[in-house]
């Protein structure tokens, strides 16, 4: 994602374009493996030591509320963030805390047709994300 696109995405949501927001969005796009607030702060402070921790948290909440980033579901009590907005799934390593993205359009179609036939009573599905848990093999 280029700087121009980041600025546009903020503007489209009616958010002011500030250096802090740009830097945080860039960091989440750059950092692999669904960073925590802590790792985003660590990464950013190298280049921008004056940015405040509280500001990072506030901005992360604003970005989530405006659908510019997503929170990743985990079993832990720490929040992690994802810059990928297209529909995708997550691979969770059972031993390490690694989480990787998994894209599979064929699977998405399969699920869509499955749930078109089989409705869940009293529930309107908007979105399905698979938590695929297992182990990464050393390559």
Q: Are 30 and 72 in contact (CB under 8 A)?
A: no
Q: Are 68 and 10 in contact (CB under 8 A)?
A: yes
| Beta-bridge mates of residue 35 | none
Residue 39 contacts DNA per CB under 7 A: no
User: How far is residue 59's CA from residue 12's CA, in Å, rounded to a whole number?
Assistant: 16
Residue 54 interacting partner from a second copy, DNA, none (CB closer than 5 to 8 Å by kind): DNA
Residue 59 contacts DNA per CB under 7 A: yes
Residue 31 contacts DNA per CB under 7 A: no
For residue 88 the two structure tokens come to 């995708």
Residue 21 contacts DNA per CB under 7 A: yes
State in angstroms the smallest separation of the CB of 106 from DNA: 34
Query: Residues 50, 86, 106, 124: which binds DNA (CB under 7 A)?
Result: 50
């Amino acid at each position: 994602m280029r700087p121009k696109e980041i600025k546009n995405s903020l503007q489209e949501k009616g958010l002011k374009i500030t250096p802090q927001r740009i830097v945080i969005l860039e960091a989440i796009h750059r950092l692999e493996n669904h960073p925590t607030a802590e790792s985003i702060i660590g990464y950013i402070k190298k280049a921008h030591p004056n940015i405040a921790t509280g500001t990072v948290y506030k901005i992360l909440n604003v970005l989530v509320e405006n659908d510019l980033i997503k929170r990743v579901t985990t079993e832990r009590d720490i929040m992690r963030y994802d810059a990928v907005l297209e529909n995708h799934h997550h691979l969770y390593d059972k031993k390490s805390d690694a989480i990787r993205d998994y894209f599979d359009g064929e699977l998405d179609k399969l699920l869509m047709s499955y749930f078109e036939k089989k409705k869940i009573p009293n529930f309107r599905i908007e979105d399905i994300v698979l938590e695929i848990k297992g182990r990464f093999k050393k390559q």
